[in-house]
Structure 1
Amino acid sequence: MGRKMEWAGKANHLLGLPRKTVIMAVGTFAKAVALVLNSTSVSNADTLLNLVRSRPPGVPLITVSNHMSTLDDPVMWGFKGFPTCNAHLQRWVLAAEDICFKNTVYSYFFRLGKCIPITRGGGIYQEHMSEALELLSNGEWLHTFPQGKVYQEDEPIRRLKWGTASLIARAPITPIVLPIIHQGFEKVMPEKYMFGRRPPVPLWNKDIKIIVGEPIEFDIAKLKQTAISTSRSSSSFSNEGWPPFGPLDEAAQRCLYIDISERIRSVMEKMRVISKKLKV
């Protein structure tokens, strides 16, 4: 518990100077990998830039993407024109606790980098999901990898984890949900490069392709009613003791999160197929 360091993630920690320093350093690294060491092209970048810089006040943004390597974040934000070094505009991101928060030094660094620790397999009601919800309540931008782990194989998007869907449904103001698909990071940081391990530094002379989609609309009130109706006609869900969510019991919540997740997965898969044919 001592390695979660939620205090270090606060904007006013030491007047914000450590955060600005880390964001600027990581942002410079991201720019170097994306633009100097490699070639990065982006389709529909303006949609992302407009939502990051000037979405309606108080409205949160959730970006979702496939997960091709351990460098996806931050390097996917290193493309030309993106405010990668701006600590105020930079995203929050759900980060694997066992990788990014495994010791005190890592925890402090990643907290300054606006990362939230998530225990893979810990469920949607784990401790720091409430922290993510609080950020969304304040109109922040949160990035998630709903696949839950790195997949470098060129194959269809698999069933998504429910954590992102639960945040979309439970946020007081329904977030703008923007899908992103990318290719090439699996070549910059392959999982099995040398002796079955990742390379010690990012590889170079690779082509990175990023495709920004259009926001996915969710009528949460309508989806909740559908989930309640669907759950009453199904008894196939196990019970893990989830707390009620408004009028939704656990079975209805599961129906709701499955519905939202499948809508996101379907859009991401269509984008993945298109991206394979697209020359950005």
Structure 2
Amino acid sequence: MSTPPPPPSTPSLSLPWRFSSSLIMGLTGSLSRGFLFGMNRTEVVGLDRFLETLDNRKNVEGRARGLITVSNHVSVIDDPLIWGVLPFKYAFSPSNHRWSLGSYDICFQNKFLSSFFTYGQVLPTHRGDYSPIHGGLFQPTITQAIRLLSSQPFTKTLSTETSHTISDPFSGSSLTYSTTGADNFPAPSAYPSRRHSWVHIFPEGRVHQHPTKSLRYFKWGVSRLILESEPLPDIIPIFIDGNQHIMHEAREWPRFVPRVGKDKDALVKKGLPTDLEMGELSEGLKYCNEAVALRKEVTRRIRLEVLKVRRELGYPDEDPKEGLVETWIEEGGKKTGKMEDGSYVGET
């Protein structure tokens, strides 16, 4: 009688990986905190509730669901600067810190940058303007983010994933993944210590600095994170104001130097209820035409939640047309710089 094969081993992060990630995350968070509170005037509303949420998630095994934070995007330094509001002890705990989506053409240009941002828990994301073939709603990085937010174990044994056409987030559990079919990145979702992670997303997709602090339309990637993660993650909307003065898109030389002595506000709202009714997402609905309407509705509702936080900071309600893609045609043909409506748009 043959002996059944042993179960596949559970992967664990190596000591060098954990050390490098803790060092980069910790030093970056510490520098951000020192800059925010030592060289600027910073006020955060609702931070105590957010820290309570993070404290409740400290034990990975005790987590019941992932966490999504979603915010407006007003400066190229929003991430990591906004996380400088967290006390130092949170910065040195990567397993309880955010994963973010970073532009492939900026953050992953060479081996050094790729290593830095990978250890800094940034996922390589292709933007449609720079990579129309590899970008979009179904690129592998969005799949990786969904897996980070979700429960484990996944359905298949460990392997090396080389295809960038996978659309089902739970079709395997690979130690690596590719965003183009030619590159290769570690797959953080393969590790049990990363189950039910925290993912932050800027759904506007690029920096937007408007005189009235209005928001651009939100892209649909956030809807995939919400609809396809299992179970539904906790969702916390955030509104940021002030970073646009630290690194304004119209700044002159030296452009790479952040400005100091500025006022910065951030409002962190209590999380949305975890029984938020988004509708049942069947396998067929994920890929049929009805999915378009569903993603639009989810994205619209998340944008409204960020607007509610904006309103609590005292800003007047914006024109409902601001949330429509068609409205932003008014920006003109330019992709970045000063637009016809008076706003400034940056790369990312």
Q: Give me the TM-score of the superposition, normalised by structure 1.
A: 0.82
Amino acid of the residue matched to residue 181 of structure 1?
A: F
Pick from 215, 220, 240: which aligns with 1:182? 240
Alignment CA distance shift 1:74-1:173 (3 Å): same
Matched, 1:49 2:28: no
Identity %: 30
* Contact in 2 for aligned 1:224/1:256 (Cα 8 Å): no
Aligned equivalent of 1:147: 204
AA matched with 1:67: H
For the residues of structure 1 that align with 2:285 and 2:279, how far apart are their CA atoms?
12
1:221 CA displacement = 6.7
Look up the match of 2:40.
38
Q: In structure 2, the residue corresponding to 1:223 is in which secondary structure?
A: coil
Give the AA of the match of 2:141.
H
Equivalent position to 1:209, from 265, 268, 289: 265
SS of residue matched to 2:258: coil
Runs of 5+ consecutive residues of structure 1 not aligned to the other structure? 1-9, 226-243
The reply to whether residue 268 of structure 1 matches residue 306 of structure 2 is: yes
8 Å contact 1:35–1:80 — kept in the other structure? no
2:60 matches 1:58: no
2:106 is the alignment partner of 1:73? no
Select the structure that is richer in helix.
Answer: 1
Greater alpha carbon shift after TM alignment, 80-89 vs 61-70 = 80-89
Residue of structure 2 equivalent to 1:252: 290
What is the distance in 2 between the residues matched to 1:94 and 1:46? 25
Question: 1:69 aligns to what SS in structure 2?
Answer: coil
* Structure 2 residue aligned with 1:234: none
Judged with a 3 Å threshold, the aligned counterparts in structure 2 of structure 1 residues 40 and 222 are, in CA distance, closer, same or farther, namely closer
Between the aligned partners of 2:86 and 2:15, the Cα distance in structure 1 is 30
Contact residue 166 and residue 257 of structure 1 kept, 8 A: yes
Which residue identity is paired with 1:130? Answer: T
Report the secondary structure of 1:202's partner residue.
coil
Letter of the structure 2 residue corresponding to residue 101 of structure 1: F
Question: In the superposition, relative to structure 1, how do residues 47 and 154 fare at CA in structure 2: closer, same or farther (>3 Å)?
Answer: farther
Q: In the alignment, what sits opposite 1:116?
A: 123
8 Å CA contact 1:33, 1:202 repeated in 2 = no
Residue matched to 2:101:
94
Seen in structure 2, the aligned counterparts of structure 1 residues 170 and 205 have a Cα distance that, compared at 3 Å, is same
Of 135-144 and 53-62, deviating more is 53-62
Q: Which range moved further: 26-35 or 150-159?
A: 150-159
Unaligned runs of 5+ in 2: 1-11, 129-134, 151-194, 317-348
Number of aligned residue pairs: give it.
249
What SS does the corresponding residue of 2:42 show, helix, strand or coil?
Answer: strand
Aligned pair in 2 of structure 1 residues 95, 13: CA closer, same or farther (>3 Å)? farther
Structure with higher Rg: it is 2
Mapped to 2, the partners of 1:211 and 1:217 lie a distance apart of 18
Shift of residue 248, structure 1, vs aligned partner:
4.0
Determine the structure 1 residue equivalent to 2:149: 136
